[in-house]
Amino acid sequence: MTIAAAAARTLAFYGVLLLLLRIMGKREIGALSPFDLVVTIMIAELAALPMENPDISMVDALVPIFTLTVAEIAVSYITLKSDRMRALLTGTPSIIIRSGEIIESEMRRTRYNLSDLLLQLRLKGIANIADVEVAILETNGELSVFPKSQRRPVVPADLGVETEPEGLPLVIIADGVVNKANLRYAGLDHGWLITQLRQQGIDSVDDVLLASLDAVGHLFVQRKNRSRRRRHADIL
């Protein structure tokens, strides 16, 4: 097989796998259950074999990959409808800490050691186990931690303070490129954007690293690094 044919074959499998992962859904990437992990590893192995061995035809290579994809989608649908099947295939969450006390029996059952527990607590900003109301080991291996009410940060609701909904900021400019869809969504136009930039002493959209619009209409703008722009101009 020539180099060009090998490259084309590799790119074809790359495209197919990306498409199949999109079809299987974001859950496959963001939170792998044991079943999802097995399917992902098998698909990776099945894709690697034909790329290494040109004697394996594309059809022979793609049939088992598509079969696994269909099986994964079918199992995902079944677990969506059946709590029993979901518990069988993906497991159930385990309470590791309750009211500041480690539940040793669950630690042993899940083979979760103290070092891992303390590490996960530190990553979540918890230094003392006594400050934890509940810690749950999720089916994907993540530890969900809920501090005791006396140890939680104060929020406006605790003080009886009413706040306005903030919403998500809209990215208007990213690295010198205007996001026209977000600009239209905000009910604004290019002329308004240019006016706002000039008020901040910016003459060109190309000079903006990031511009975002919050829910109350405030435009945050950060310029590109000047030295970086000069180096880029020198290179050109």
Is pTM beyond 0.85 here? Answer: no
How far, in Å, CA of 179 to CA of 172, rounded?
A: 5
Q: Determine how β-strand 177-178 pairs with β-strand 143-147.
A: unpaired
The CA distance from 131 to 162, in Å, is 28
- For CATH 3.30.240.20, list the domain ranges present in the chain: 94-151, 170-235
User: Does the CA dihedral 77-80-82-83 come out positive or negative?
Assistant: positive
Rounded CA gap, 52 and 76, in Å? 31
CATH architecture of 170-235: 2-Layer Sandwich (3.30)
Q: Measured between alpha carbons, how far apart are the two ends of the chain, in Å? A: 40
Order of strands, sheet of 177-178, starting from the edge strand that comes earlier in the sequence: 177-178, 170-174, 208-213, 219-223
pLDDT at residue 210, as a whole number? 94
Give bridge partners of residue 213 from the DSSP assignment: 170, 219
What pLDDT sits at residue 21?
67
**CA atoms within a 13 Å half-sphere pointing along the CA-CB vector of 73:** 11
The per-residue pLDDT for 174 is: 93
Mean pLDDT by 10 residues, the chain (236 residues): 70 74 56 68 79 78 83 80 78 90 92 91 92 90 90 84 81 93 92 93 92 90 70 44
- The span from the CA of 213 to the CA of 220, in Å, is 6
What's the confidence (pLDDT) of residue 230?
47
How far is 144 from 95, CA to CA, in rounded Å?
Answer: 9
CATH T-level topology, domain 94-151: CRO Repressor (3.30.240)
> Hey, how many other C-beta atoms are within 10 angstroms of the C-beta on 1?
11
Backbone torsions φ then ψ of 165, nearest 5 degrees? -60, 135
Give the pLDDT confidence score for residue 32 in this predicted structure: 62
